[in-house]
Amino acid sequence: MLKREISEKLKLWRTQKNKKALCIIGARQIGKTTIIREFAKQEYENFIEINFILDKGAEKIFEDKLDADTIIENLTAFKMQKMEPGKTLVFLDEIQECPNARCAIKFLVEDGRFDYIESGSLLGVRYKEVPSYAVGFEEIVSMYPMNFREFLRANGVQDTTFTTLQFCYENHNEVPTVMHETLLKLFATYIVVGGMPDVVQTYVDTHDIGKVVRLQRNILELYRQDISKYSEGAEKVRIKAIFDSIASQLDDKNRRFILNRIDENGRMNRYENSFMWLSDAGVALPSYNVTEPQAPLQLNEKRNLFKLFMGDTGLLCASCMENIQFELLQGNMDVNMGSILENVFAQSIKSGGFSLNYFESKKYGELDFVIQNGLKIDLLEIKSGNDYQKHSALNKVSAVENWKFGRKIVFCKGNVEQKEEIEYFINLAADYKEKKKQGVAVDTLKGKNVALIFEKTSTRTRCSFEVAAHDLGMGSTYLDPTGSQIGKKESIADTARVLGRMYDGIEYRGFGQEVVEELAKHAGVPVWNGLTNEYHPTQMIADMLTIREHFGDLKGRKLVYMGDARYNMGNSLMIACTKLGMHFVACTTKKYFPNAELVAQCEEYAKASGGSITLTEDVQEGTKDADVIYTDVWVSMGEPDEVWTERIHDLTPYKVTKDVMKNAGEKAIFLHCLPAFHDLKTKIGKEMGERFNLTDMEVTDEVFESEQSKVFDEAENRMHTIKAVMVATLGER
């Protein structure tokens, strides 16, 4: 006997006082009758079953006078079985064949001596002509094919496994490898077998996929017979056409059901009832587009835009996808997996009691599923391939200021992961870098334009944004420190609202962090921080990509920042390292230690990631066994000249020299965000050299030009990482 979760609902219903009749509805062949019989066997001394198809003449029980005494008298005469108050369950099966029986439930429930369960094909329950429904006297429970959990139990998976899975999910821990691989194989099997109980039992008993498919096709034929039996005239033709096209419609790239593929002159108002017929029958599951992914979703539904899934994924595979079963069972998840995976998740979501919706717009892209979970909206993306870390629509929708969400989940064949945005951008950047090397065009953002505001000049940031924009097919406009009225004749808010109406994205490189945040608040388009006094996020992604390229990983690596750790580079490196499970060291005089409040925040990041923070004045101790030695110019753009004397005095002991690199170890690398004062070949370098009798400042030329120096790899990566940031936030068309 297959264990079904609805059994617990039935037991709970049994304990209720003044209970209503229970009406269990659902598609054909999902095990309604079997589960009710088993429930009656366990919970009742007496069980009366009436099947209005098999028990000829049973409909006469409910003819003429519909009062409880008459009906009960007729029941006992027809079945000749004992009926004891409080100990008897009356089961009215295939109730769609006897409309009067549904009317009579009111009187039987009011009588209260016995318990009543009705069951039938949902299509029949809804579409048979019923004189008067028992409103207020029926509790309707929807039943669906077996879900994945039930399938696993049928195949011997124990409750301890489910406990482990739940723990891993809630704590974002990896599932043990053997368990993950086993369950992944069973998931592929579930896709092939589906959740129709007879089919599942056949698989469990025989493992014969040939028998499984033959059974599935018999069920599909039964559904077609139901269409002929319960529909009439032109509607019958329309329903069959829709039913037979579900698989091919899902196989299309956007999965959306296109009516003119089955009827060139078709109009939704003529077909609406036909779609509802299949939906009510439990055969098909419509997922409606919403105008915005916010509660209540029902008010945002666009009923003319929908995807139509099959009620059971196993039946979908059996309907027209020849030989796909073999491919799936062999672990080949590439064959038609987009449509199949979306179908199995649609089936799971619906059986979980949630409505099916998706979100699609030109501005944001498409989200596979948008689920209202109480007052929260959960976002689900389903990925069949290895590009599960690319989900631009999810990123764009998540960034909308006024939209609030609960969980944001990407399902894929990999293990449990919780990806920080930083790691996501790194992976995406690596992908675009490889495409650049291979000469693969990535101009997926044609027609878009970006504005580049530079209140502080730059070589790498400007070139990175302009080349990245060009590669992506976008136009760009550079606004230098004299090229805009921002903050001068025009407020930041007004500038944001003007540019936001002309451009699809805005980059800002300048002074206070509050400026870029004000731009983001009013622009209505993505705003990217190219550098502020406090933070330099795009540099971080390039730095981390460079480190990972060299070492193969990031977690556990020790990065030492030498110099003034109070501003953008020190702050940003500390945040990035602690979020990624790295060990961050600020090696400088206490005067230049990072802000205590930010340190406390980053310590919380480190606790979660396994990283750490060390603040030290000791160069030998701080740089010992470091993987990365990092420094930056001692005086930032916009700072007055008088600070040079102070910085050179304070920070010279923290210059990156050959001895520092030797102390770190021969495998250590040197990074610098540039420009670097490592010689006297620049105007400022020459001036400072003459003024202070120096040949270098924050790093010696010997280190800068050494094999350990990866500064130009780092500089190149700025372009690839900025490309990733723009794609992730603007989305691919």
Catalytic residues: 509, 536, 539, 632, 673, 718
Pair of tokens at residue 30: 């999902």
Write out the H or E segment, with its range, that includes residue 729: helix 711-730
Query: Smallest Cα–Cα separation from 474: which of 718, 716, 733, 721?
Result: 733
Tokens of 356: 């099916």
Q: Which contiguous run of DSSP H or E holds residue 599?
A: helix 596-609
Amino acid, res. 180:
H
Which residues in 85-112 are b (16+ Cβ under 10 Å) and which e?
A: eeebbbbbbbbbbbbbbbbbbbbbbeee
Strands 369-373 and 376-382: antiparallel
Neighbours of 53 (CB within 10 A): 12
Are the CB atoms for 297 and 406 separated by under 8 Å?
no
How does DSSP assign 668-702, residue by residue?
Answer: -EEEE-S---SSS-SHHHHHHHHHHT-S-SSB-HH
Cα 138 to chain centroid, rounded = 37
CB atoms within 10 A of CB 49: 18
d(CA 67, CA 71): 6
CA distance 614 to 616: 6
Burial class (CB in 10 A: 0-12, 13-18, 19+), 118: buried
Q: What are phi and psi of 709, to 5 degrees?
A: -80, 125
Q: Which residue's structure tokens are 């606790």? A: 607
Sign of torsion, CA 610 615 618 623?
Answer: positive
CA dist., res. 278 & res. 27, Å (int): 10
Type of residue found at 230: Y
- CA-CA distances (angstroms) from residue 327 to 196, 333, 342, 642? 21, 8, 18, 71
